[in-house]
Structure 1
Amino acid sequence: MEQTVSPLSVKDSERLEVQRSVVINFVSEGSLEQYRTAAGKLGTLRALLEAGVFEADQTYELQCMGIVLGDALVQQHGFEWVAVEDDFGRDPALRVERTSVLLFPLTMISKRVERGEIVDVFDLFNGTAEIALKRATDELGN
């Protein structure tokens, strides 16, 4: 099963925008400026999780939260959105620039919530970035 990594297509980008809008709909007008920061995105995700806005069976909505988590990683660490296609389909992923290191934020929150775990998005964000950046450094030989 081989993976093909490519830039996002127009259709991929549109899909991500629709998914982002699911989360943005919960952001008050007065909080939009804060939401534009990585910390603001993470704070929004934390508030949604703590309030139990989405149930464990609301996979799509939880995956929308994963896209916003990915946006925060892009914003803070310069990762790039790409599309990964394999035998199972095509999904958005993050790539650490100039490496083959891939992250799949789409399901990072949903899988944990579905397993009944309490998700600390700040820990998830920091741990994911730390691992990805270490792998990238190792790959680049630095």
Structure 2
Amino acid sequence: MQEVFMKKSKLIIALAILFTANICVAQYTPLNVVSENNKKPLSEEKEISIKELGWMDHNKMEQEITSVNELAQTKIGSTIRRDLSDLQLLQRLVDGAWVARDDYATQQAMGVVLGNVMLADFPNTFAWKVYEDEVGRSRALCVKNTNECLFPVTMLSRRMEIGSAPNVKKIYDDAILLMEKHLPKLPYDGGIMYRLPRTN
């Protein structure tokens, strides 16, 4: 009788251990593990897609540049030159409060002008592209043959729309430094090789 009781006790203990082990596995299994029972993760991110600009993108950007140029001519007597002087032009538009806080179109047009200065400074490194991910579609300045991109179109607008007056030169310099590893270098560790001339 005692032997039967011992066997039943061992069976109950074994079942209890097995049941507990199954609970632990269920609790600590990651949700997005691909297995025979779960071929796809529970959530899937859209793959990044980087494509050439379409003709509509080119047309829109030219219109944006024209609108900023006309604003600058009218308000501060300057024109876009696609060089570093454009950074000062943009700063004067910001400081003069010539662009309304809710004028997102003009703010983003100013971002296109900013991006064109970056492109002029590093024409062999950057190219305007269409960047698509799970967030949406954007125009981006991407390092050629990579997925690494800057988004100058919104660099100014996301500050201006909250009433902040961005420091255009600092934003430019910070963005360039983010891509430093891709940029041409001066010999003997002389730093970044810029295309546009700098004045002391």
* Counterpart amino acid of residue 151 in structure 2: F
d(CA) in 1 for partners of 2:48 and 2:145?
A: 17
The gaps in structure 2 that reach 5 residues or longer are 1-45, 184-200
1:28 aligns with 2:56: no
Deviation at 1:27, TM superposition (A): 3.4
Between structure 1 and structure 2, the one with the greater Rg is 2
Work out which of the residue numbers 122, 125, 139 in structure 1 matches 2:172: 125
1:103 aligns with 2:103: no
d(CA) in 2 for partners of 1:11 and 1:123?
A: 31
- Mark the CA change 1:37 to 1:21 in structure 2 (over 3 Å): closer, same or farther: closer
Look up the SS of the partner of 2:68 in the other structure: helix
d(CA) in 2 for partners of 1:66 and 1:60?
A: 10
1:73 aligns with 2:118: yes
Normalized per residue, the structure richer in helix is 1
More displaced stretch, 96-105 vs 56-65:
96-105
d(CA) in 1 for partners of 2:52 and 2:112?
A: 16
Equivalent residues in 2 for 1:1-142 (5 A)? Answer: 1-28=46-73, 31-32=78-79, 35-78=80-123, 79-134=126-181, 136=182
Q: Which has the bigger relative contact order, CA under 8 A and spacing at least 6? A: 1
* Counterpart amino acid of residue 138 in structure 2: D
d(CA) in 2 for partners of 1:36 and 1:129?
A: 19
1:28-47, CA deviations, whole angstroms, 9 ceiling, x for partnerless residues? 39744xx3142121111011
d(CA) in 1 for partners of 2:156 and 2:106?
A: 10
1:84-142, CA deviations, whole angstroms, 9 ceiling, x for partnerless residues? 123444221001233321011111100011233221101100110111223x36xxxxx
- Mark the CA change 1:57 to 1:31 in structure 2 (over 3 Å): closer, same or farther: closer
What is the percentage of aligned positions where both structures have the same residue?
29
Q: Contact 1:96 / 1:133 at 8 angstroms: preserved in 2?
A: no
d(CA) in 2 for partners of 1:20 and 1:102?
A: 21
Aligned to 1:140: none
d(CA) in 2 for partners of 1:27 and 1:53?
A: 9
d(CA) in 2 for partners of 1:77 and 1:110?
A: 23
Aligned length: 134
d(CA) in 1 for partners of 2:158 and 2:94?
A: 13
Normalized per residue, the structure richer in strand is 1
* Counterpart amino acid of residue 61 in structure 1: T
- Mark the CA change 1:31 to 1:118 in structure 2 (over 3 Å): closer, same or farther: closer
* Counterpart amino acid of residue 92 in structure 2: A
d(CA) in 2 for partners of 1:110 and 1:31?
A: 21
The two structures have a TM-score, normalised by structure 2, of: 0.61
Q: Contact 2:72 / 2:89 at 8 angstroms: preserved in 1?
A: yes
Across the aligned residues of Structure 1 and Structure 2, the Cα RMSD in angstroms comes to 1.9
d(CA) in 1 for partners of 2:145 and 2:130?
A: 15
